[in-house]
A and B are shown apart, each in its own frame.
Chain A
Amino acid sequence: MTQQMNSSVIRSSSATRSSSSSPTRSSPVARSSGATRSPWRPRVWAPAVIAILIAALVWEYVATNNTYLLPRLGTIGQALATQPAFFLDNAWVTLSEALVGLVIGFVAAFVVAVLVTESGILRRAIMPLAVVLNVTPVVAIAPALVVAFGFGPAPKLIVTALITFFPILMNVITGLNSVSPPILQVFSTLRANRFEVLTRLRLPSSLPYVFAALKVVFPLSVVGAVVAEFSAPGAAKGLGTVISVASSNSRLAVVYAAIACLALMGAALLLLITLLEKRVLRWHESQLLKRE
Chain B
Amino acid sequence: MTNTHSAGASLEYASPDEIVVSDALKVYGSGAGEVTALSHVDLTVKRGQFVSVIGPSGCGKSTMLRMIAGLEQPDSGEVSVFGAHPDEACAAKMIGFVPQVPALLPWLSVLGNVTIPSKVNRRADALRRTLPGHVARPATDPRVLLTKLGLGDAIDRLPHQLSGGMQQRVAIARAFSIQADVLLMDEPFSALDEFTREAIQVQLLELWEQMRTTVVFVTHSVSEAVVLSDVVVVMSARPGRIEAVIPIDLPRPRRQGLLEAAAMHEYEDLIREKLQTAWASGPVVR
Interface residues, chain A, with chain B CB atoms under 8 Å away = 20, 22-28, 180, 182-183, 185-193, 196, 200-201, 204, 207, 282-285, 288
**Contact call A282/B93, Cβ cutoff below 8 A:** no
Q: A26-B164, A26-B193, A191-B93 are in contact. List 16 more A-B contacts (CB 8 A).
A: A22-B167, A23-B164, A27-B163, A28-B163, A183-B103, A188-B90, A189-B71, A189-B90, A189-B184, A190-B121, A192-B120, A193-B120, A204-B105, A204-B107, A283-B107, A285-B106
B160 within 8 A of A: yes
**Contact call B103/A182, Cβ cutoff below 8 A:** yes
Partner of A182, one of B93, B100, B116, B163: B100
Pairs of residues from A and B, 4 with the lowest C-beta to C-beta distance, nearest first: A23-B191, A192-B120, A182-B99, A182-B103
B264 within 8 A of A: no
Partner of B101, one of A22, A27, A187, A204: A22
Q: Which residues of A contact B97 (CB under 8 A)?
A: 185-186, 189
Chain B residue total in the interface (Cβ 8 A)? 39
Partner of B71, one of A185, A192, A193, A200: A185
The CA of A288 and the CA of B106, in the complex, are separated in Å by 12
**Contact call B164/A196, Cβ cutoff below 8 A:** no
Cβ of B93 to closest chain A Cβ, rounded Å: 6
Using CB atoms, name the residue of chain A closest to B154.
A28
26 A–B contacts, CB within 8 A, in A order: A20-B101, A23-B101, A24-B191, A25-B160, A26-B193, A183-B105, A185-B97, A186-B99, A186-B103, A186-B174, A187-B120, A188-B70, A189-B69, A189-B70, A189-B71, A190-B93, A190-B117, A190-B120, A191-B91, A200-B119, A204-B105, A207-B107, A282-B158, A284-B107, A285-B106, A288-B160
B162 within 8 A of A: yes
Residues 100-144 of B at the A interface (beta carbon under 8 Å): 100-107, 116-117, 119-121, 124
Using CB atoms, name the residue of chain B closest to A22.
B101
B178 within 8 A of A: yes
Cβ of A31 to closest chain B Cβ, rounded Å: 9
Q: Which residues of B contact A190 (CB under 8 A)?
A: 90, 93, 117, 120-121, 124, 178
The CA of A196 and the CA of B35, in the complex, are separated in Å by 35
